[in-house]
Amino acid sequence: MKDNFVNHLRPRFISDRALSVYYTFCLGGLSFLAFLMLGITGILLMFHYQPGTSSGFSSVLTIGSVIPYGSVIRNLHYWSAQLMVVTVNLHMVRVVWTHSYKPPKQLNWLVGVGLLVLVLVLDFTGYLLIGSQESGAAATVAANLLKQIPGLGTALAQIALGEPTALSGSTLIVYVWHCVALPLAAFWLQLYHFWRIRRDGGVRPL
């Protein structure tokens, strides 16, 4: 079991081309680096952020203007998130370009699609947590869109967003999605994504 794990992390043979930075541009690795940065800065932000339609925005202002290094941490979190959205999309373009979505890698392609959705929803819920008037408008649009789904819509909107107001999207439910449920799902899915890369024969031209 231990040997298996070490061999998996550090296989005996890797082709030269797989190591060429011009094949992957390290876009998957950069995405993971941004994810780690988001985890660290996100935990630091949680010490001072207070979710709630009235407290969200004021705590963001406090983080930016009163808490030592608060605005640095907030900016690092914000820009890492934007970087991750860009690198994940470019990573997907590279995978399409090199035809790496074809068998035997088709399952990892689907895992990647799941990761893409998670990354975009994380970015959106983070925007709602700012608690500004714009975030209230965005939450209202999202809730109204979900409510269009026949039968399940109203319940889905409540489960996904709670009760946002037109002036703030920062609800406790969005906070739990953004800070706990979605990051955990993305973390485990990324570990599975990495494991599958080796399982499918490693990164190499097909």
Residue ranges binding ligand HEM (CB under 6 A):
24, 26-29, 31-32, 35, 88, 91-92, 95, 98, 100-101, 105, 108-109, 112-113, 115-116, 119, 190, 193, 197, 203
- Is the CB of 35 or the CB of 175 nearer to ligand HEM? 35
- Is the CB of 23 or the CB of 78 nearer to ligand HEM? 23
Q: Report the nearest approach of ligand HEM to the CB of residue 87 (Å).
A: 8
- Is the CB of 17 or the CB of 155 nearer to ligand HEM? 17
Torsion region of 205: left, alpha or beta (phi above 0 gives left; psi -120 to 50 gives alpha): beta
Q: Report the nearest approach of ligand HEM to the CB of residue 131 (Å).
A: 26
Q: Report the nearest approach of ligand HEM to the CB of residue 171 (Å).
A: 25
Report the alpha-carbon distance of residue 96 to residue 140 in Å, rounded.
35
Q: Report the nearest approach of ligand HEM to the CB of residue 95 (Å).
A: 5
- Is the CB of 139 or the CB of 186 nearer to ligand HEM? 186
Q: Report the nearest approach of ligand HEM to the CB of residue 34 (Å).
A: 8
- Is the CB of 78 or the CB of 109 nearer to ligand HEM? 109
